[in-house]
Amino acid sequence: MEREALAVFEARRILERSARLPVVEEYVDGKRSSVDALFRMGDTCFAVQVKSNARSATVAQAIARLREYEKEHRGVSLLLIVPFMGQTGAEICDRASVNWVDLQGNASIHVARVHVHIRGKREGGISESLLQPETGINPFSPKASRIVHAILTKPKGSWSRAGLEAITGVEKGYLSKIVAALSERGYVERTPSHGSSAIRVVDPVVLLDAWREKYKPGRPMSWGLIAARDGSETSRQLAHILSDAGVSYALTGLASAAHYTDFGSFRRVDAYLAKPLPESAAARLRAGTEERGRNVALYLDPGNTSIGVTKEKRIYIASAVLTYLDLSHIPERSVEAAEAMRRYLEQQWK
């Protein structure tokens, strides 16, 4: 409680300094209210939630509590206070039209005649004592995230541990730790099912954002060159070469986005491979380590060639969630394609 009160005091001071208006804290009964504080700034009343981190699930839970208060108190503005607001948390707040202040001095406030947008500050000091570092297993590490990947391919269903083990290849003991970490952080829930427990996603958009925040794709193991008129032809030729060589694969990035969303023209084709290229295929692709002048990027990752893969016109395509994540690390028109994939996923998950 002392830390929470300290956070409220510090956030009020930052809000005053940012908006250049006095901010008064009003009384709120913490035992009966879904908010931690009420701020009065001119004609605006802020309902405030204080959280110890800005993880996607935490931000989503805070917004849900603020919405509860808003239903009974029309006209209030919503404000979230966290130690440090990352990019993903800020995007979630922006989509929900929720204001926020972090204890580093950053803020996004849009009410009445007050508009404040401050980013990039890391001052340390009092706010650092309120940070709670991640402990235990990281469910978004490359191997652990296979579980996240699998359940996001069918987020409306329920999953058994045995089913996840078979799909992902993650051993039973490690899988249990990953599920426990996801459950503790509010991303999944476990319910009794036939003497065991079924695993269900609480909110797929929140889980996707959490993974995106931690996602770091591997580097291409090699680059290839295919003479073709456009990316679609490059995709067909690459699929033919890999199939001839007996290499399981899945196209991702722009080539995959074009499958899911009818996205426009592209040049570069990215593909996951289940095993290294045989010499014959490497020769046909003129594979090498130099990126310049090449139009094919090849990544070695067996898991991504099996989880959620679909087949379209004899070409294997990576899952929609993986395609979306990979687009944030690919040049050309990837930003536009990522927006299209985001809309596609949210529509599928409604």
pLDDT at position 241: 97
Give mean pLDDT, residues 76-104. 92
With a cut of 60, say whether residue 124 has pLDDT above it: no
Q: At a CB cut-off of 8 Å and minimum separation 6, what does 250 contact?
A: 256, 271, 272, 304, 305, 309, 316, 317, 318
Partners of 99 in beta bridges: 79
User: What does the angle CA 134 – CA 139 – CA 140 come to, to the nearest 5 degrees?
Assistant: 95
Please name each of the domains of the chain with its CATH number: 2-130 (3.40.1350.10), 145-214 (1.10.10.10), 222-348 (no CATH)
DSSP, collapsed to helix, strand or coil, labels residue 161 as helix
With a cut of 90, say whether residue 287 has pLDDT above it: yes
Q: How confident is the model at residue 218 (pLDDT cuts 50, 70, 90)?
A: confident
Cα separation, 15 vs 259, in Å, equals: 46
Quote the mean pLDDT of the chain: 89
With a cut of 90, say whether residue 182 has pLDDT above it: yes
Q: Give tens-digit pLDDT for 12-64.
A: 888 888 888 899 988 776 556 788 889 999 889 999 999 988 888 889 989 99
